[in-house]
Structure 1
Amino acid sequence: MVPRRIERLAGLAIQVVILCIFLVGVYTRNPSVVVNAVLALGATFLPAVLRRDWQIRLHPLFGLWLTLAVLLHAAGMLGPYNYIDWWDHVTHTLSATVVAAVGYVTARAVDEYTEAVYLPDRFMFVYILLFTLAAGVFWEVLEFGARLAAEAIGSEAVLVQYGLADTIVDLVFDTVGAVLVALFGAPPLADTIDSIRERLERTGP
């Protein structure tokens, strides 16, 4: 297990890199780099907020997992998305694992909190896939909308969408990320599920 101190130092290093990406975007007057860097930097603070304000116990690797995903996305806006074929595949797979993990721990915590809900393991596998793909479709719609909006006002798109073939490939790698969590995500996420269930018990009726 990664010690919390190493996790914090690695997270801080990633935040510094994202800040540098933001400054590059400002210097080059590239709004897509700036906006995505700001959103990525904000996302890196989410694990600390969940731990401090919501008392959610997260696996030490989760923070690095999330920050690495947003770092690769922010860095991709500098050019790798256009020049490195596999970059988009990696970012979609990593992001999909994060989304799948969120869907899994939320559903499983509710399942353990109330007897009114029963989610068998076979259903959970399908649920994780559908939840992740739904989020993936929503993201692709955002990309498409961002492109149309940028074309309408004559500016650079904040999110880039390369066509139907690219969308299908993105969803394939979203599925890969979901399957990885469905097959191997339960053990490292167990403590997080317990902490969410405990919070529901404290705040529930």
Structure 2
Amino acid sequence: MIAEKQVKKTGRVERILVRILQVLMLIIFALGLYYGNSGVFVNAGVGLFVTFLPGILKRRYDFTMNIGIVLWISVAMFLHAFGTLPLPGLDFLSPYKAVWWWDHMTHALSSSLVAGAAYAVTRALMEYTEYINMPPRFMFAYLLIFVMAFGVLWELLEFYIGVVSQLAGAEEVLTQYGLDDTVLDLMYNTLGGLLVAIFGTAHLAGLSDELLGRMEGESAER
């Protein structure tokens, strides 16, 4: 009984934190619009939209995510959006430009989300069909390779967005800082995937079970 109350209390606190982060991202979005900074309002707007996706999935498809996972998503999106905002205390540079570890932190967080999604989907597929089976060691390697591959695609996306922005004479929405930065980004992407592969899989079982239930339900309706 005490444990149940503690879980409910924790869930309530996490929901409040999610709302606070969403409000802060809305403020960042508004500041970006006010100052005409496309890098700020685009990143904040996209991040804010992503934080509302779990609620949209719940209402439209009755797909429920654990509030802890929603908070995980919200923290990653907020830190990325905040990182683009020029701050007076940093000589009006953004944390991405003024704080050397900010980019590494957000890459590790974002890659952990990618690894978490990959694990949840793959585990659900393993339970759903007998044709997919990954022993724990193979799953560990699979998550790392998946995150590394996704990281490479993301770096290519950043590069080409930068090229298009320069050709169009527009402000860059995503920025690359050279080859060394790209290599470090990939290293921290791998770190995020590694942390999920080691510690995070137990916390993603509920999400995986939810996906499995949806697949089995749709299969039964056919």
TM-score normalized with structure 1 length: 0.95
Structure 1 moving runs of 4+ over 4 Å: none
* Amino acid paired to 1:91: T
Cα deviation, 1:92-112, whole Å, max 9, x if unaligned, reads: 111111110000000010001
* Amino acid paired to 1:197: L
Q: Shift in Å at residue 195 of structure 1?
A: 1.4
> 1:48 maps to which residue?
55
Hey, what's the Cα distance between the residues in 2 that align with 1:203 and 1:131? 27
SS in 2 for 1:185: helix
Hey, what's the Cα distance between the residues in 2 that align with 1:169 and 1:69? 18
Gaps of 5+ in 2: 1-6, 86-93
Gaps of 5+ in 1: none
Cα contact 1:58–1:189 (8 A) shared by 2: no
Cα deviation, 1:70-117, whole Å, max 9, x if unaligned, reads: 100001111000000011111011111111000000001000111121
* Number of residue equivalences: 205
Within the candidate set 130, 133, 144, 1:115 is matched to 130
> 1:180 maps to which residue?
195
Cα contact 1:96–1:174 (8 A) shared by 2: yes
Hey, what's the Cα distance between the residues in 2 that align with 1:169 and 1:34? 26
Within the candidate set 105, 109, 121, 2:120 is matched to 105
Hey, what's the Cα distance between the residues in 2 that align with 1:200 and 1:25? 40
- Map 1:1-205 → 2, pairs under 5 A: 1=7, 3-78=10-85, 79-204=94-219, 205=222
- Structure label with greater radius of gyration: 2
Cα contact 1:143–1:159 (8 A) shared by 2: yes
Amino-acid identity (%): 43
Cα deviation, 1:23-74, whole Å, max 9, x if unaligned, reads: 1111211111111111011011122223333333433211111000010000
SS in 2 for 1:178: helix
* Amino acid paired to 1:119: M
Hey, what's the Cα distance between the residues in 2 that align with 1:122 and 1:54? 33
Hey, what's the Cα distance between the residues in 1 that align with 2:178 and 2:149? 18
Hey, what's the Cα distance between the residues in 1 that align with 2:46 and 2:115? 20
**Larger mean Cα displacement after TM superposition, 118-127 or 102-111:** 118-127
SS in 2 for 1:160: coil
Hey, what's the Cα distance between the residues in 1 that align with 2:113 and 2:216? 25
Hey, what's the Cα distance between the residues in 2 that align with 1:55 and 1:105? 17
Q: Do the aligned partners of residues 3 and 49 (structure 1) sit closer, same or farther apart at CA in structure 2, a change above 3 Å counting?
A: farther
